[in-house]
Amino acid sequence: MSGSIPEKNSLIPKICRVVGRRVEAENVVTLCLEPETGGPWQSAPGQFNMLYAFGVGEVPVSVSQCASDNEPIWHTVRAVGPVSAALCRLQVGSTLGMRGPFGNAWPLDVAEKKDVLVVAGGLGLAPMRPVIQHLLTRREFYGRVVVLYGCRSREAIIFDEDLAAWAQNDDLELLVTVDRADQAWGGRVGAITTLIDSQTFDPQSVLAMVCGPSLMMRFVVAALTGASCPESSIFVSMERNMKCAIGQCGRCQYGPHFVCRDGPIFRYDKIGSLFRIADI
Amino acid sequence: MEKLDQIISKHPFTKGMKADHFQTIAGCGRNVVFNAGDYIFHEGEAADHFYLLRHGRVALEVSVPGRAAIQIQTLEEGDIVGASWLVPPYRWAWDAQALETTRLVEFDAVCMREKCDADHDFGYELMKRFAPALGRRLQAARLQLLNIYETAD
């Protein structure tokens, strides 16, 4: 769980090309990227890259599919500011800059032989997608695999095809809920914490990985600890304010931690005291 | 065929309940089945029942003129359906629709209120079992209002 050691040239972006583009939801786009030279990039589930929209700026984006010999790397971006909006506008054939990968990975080794609870909210499913793929690929190394996914509405759900496939896969249990829906939805409606209430897991043998906006994670962690899950068995992704990605600029400082260097994945008992500090 | 007592005893709501309280509640219950699309109750009607959900799914909804009903919450096996019977004016606050074939145990709320008034120990026991479920639903409703999936930046 220690932070990664950046390469010497980690501040120099590599040029890469958009070879695939998929609209996931309103203002959410997945870009499939291949390097113009070298590659593919090797990254671990949970890591992030800095994506550079030329002439606009750079933002951290987590990896939603790790590159392999046969597959490009995927990044799923929500347009919330000028840079992310510029990235979302890129079309197949466009180029952008990328540096990374940075940060640490989800504790998939620690999770071996345990039940694994993956809890994702909204766009938080993007960094969890490689985790779920890993768990399914190495299924025999894990106990129960439960995936809980919450979204504002049906329209905000991302990775429809994956969710449909996972729902049919007996190797995992998938529960999806939305905050509001009409009768056409047909699925669960309610807060994501109600899915944790409904889960019967052995608190002593589960490892939970939680990813989503900080407010969502706060209440999910409260539900997990309320269900007797030890704080040391809960891992959260604290992607926030990352800029240089190598622990130099201080923009992502979180108490004594630099999220880009020491995280973004943290064991909850290491940062729990910071979770409710409003001004941090 | 499974007896009603056995069915009720398997529901989480009655877990650990004293025998005399269990007999009191079981005496007010009966099995009911709703098909997909059936309404269990409608907003504004007298809340003269509550239900323990055995199998199936139920949506709590609010109807909106000129458009599809909005679902607020879905309930599943092990849940309680209906709390408006607890507090005046004893009217349902929402519509409840079965989303699939749904089996429940229906309890006569008028009978239950009378028994709560007559035996405060029983009434307190019942409230202790309803209160956590209502607390969780209140918390969940607040989270739904907050839009906790919105990113800060």
Q: pLDDT (tens digit, 9 = 90+) per residue, A41-96?
A: 788 999 999 999 999 999 999 999 988 767 889 999 999 999 999 999 999 999 99
Q: What number is the average pLDDT over the span B45-73?
A: 93
**pLDDT-derived band at A240, boundaries 50, 70, 90:** confident
**pLDDT for position B29:** 92
Q: Do B84 and B91 touch, CB atoms closer than 8 A?
A: yes
**pLDDT-derived band at A1, boundaries 50, 70, 90:** very low
**pLDDT-derived band at A225, boundaries 50, 70, 90:** very high
pLDDT in tens, A116-175: 999 999 999 999 999 999 999 999 999 999 999 999 999 999 999 999 999 999 999 999
pLDDT at residue A260 tops 80: yes
The residue of chain B nearest to residue A184, with distances taken between CA atoms, is B68
Q: What percent of chain A has pLDDT over 70?
A: 94
Q: What number is the average pLDDT over the span A252-271?
A: 88
Is A175 in the B-facing interface, judged by CB distances under 8 Å?
Answer: no
Q: Do B106 and B25 touch, CB atoms closer than 8 A?
A: no
pLDDT: is A280 or A8 the higher one? A280
**pLDDT-derived band at A273, boundaries 50, 70, 90:** confident
pLDDT at residue A7 tops 80: no
Select from A241, A196, A239 the least CA-distant residue to A221.
A196
The residue of chain B nearest to residue A179, with distances taken between CA atoms, is B144
User: What gap in Å lies between CA B51 and CA B70, rounded to an integer?
Assistant: 22
**pLDDT for position B153:** 42
Q: Concatenate the DSSP letters of all residues of chain A into one string.
A: -PPP---TTTTSPEEEEEEEEEEEETTEEEEEEEESSS-PPP--TT-EEEEEETTTEEEEEEEEE---SSS-EEEEEE--SHHHHHHHH--TT-EEEEEEEES----TTTTTTSEEEEEEEGGGHHHHHHHHHHHHHTGGG-S-EEEEEEESSGGG---HHHHHHHHT-TTSEEEEEES-EETT--SEES-THHHHHH----TTTEEEEEES-HHHHHHHHHHHHHTT--GGGEEEE---S-SSSSS-S-TTEETTEEHHHH-SEEEHHHHGGGTT-TT-
Q: What percent of chain B has pLDDT over 70?
A: 97
Q: Which residues of B touch A156 (CB under 8 A)?
A: 149
Question: For position B43, which CATH number holds?
Answer: 2.60.120.10
* pTM recorded for the entire structure: 0.91
Least Cα separation, residue B27 to chain A (angstroms)? 28
pLDDT in tens, A86-132: 999 999 999 999 998 899 999 999 999 999 999 999 999 999 999 99
Rounded to the nearest integer, the mean pLDDT of chain B is: 92
Domain count, chain B: 1
Q: What number is the average pLDDT over the span A259-265?
A: 87
Is A187 in the B-facing interface, judged by CB distances under 8 Å?
Answer: yes
**pLDDT for position A250:** 82
Q: Where do the domains of chain A lie, and which CATH numbers do they carry?
A: 8-102 (2.40.30.10), 115-237 (3.40.50.80)
Find the CB nearest B151 among A78, A194, A198.
Answer: A78
Question: Are the beta carbons of B148 and A219 separated by less than 8 Å?
Answer: yes
| Domain encompassing residue B112 | 4-151
Is A186 in the B-facing interface, judged by CB distances under 8 Å?
Answer: yes
Taking CA atoms, A227 is separated from A66, A113, A218, in Å, by 33, 21, 14
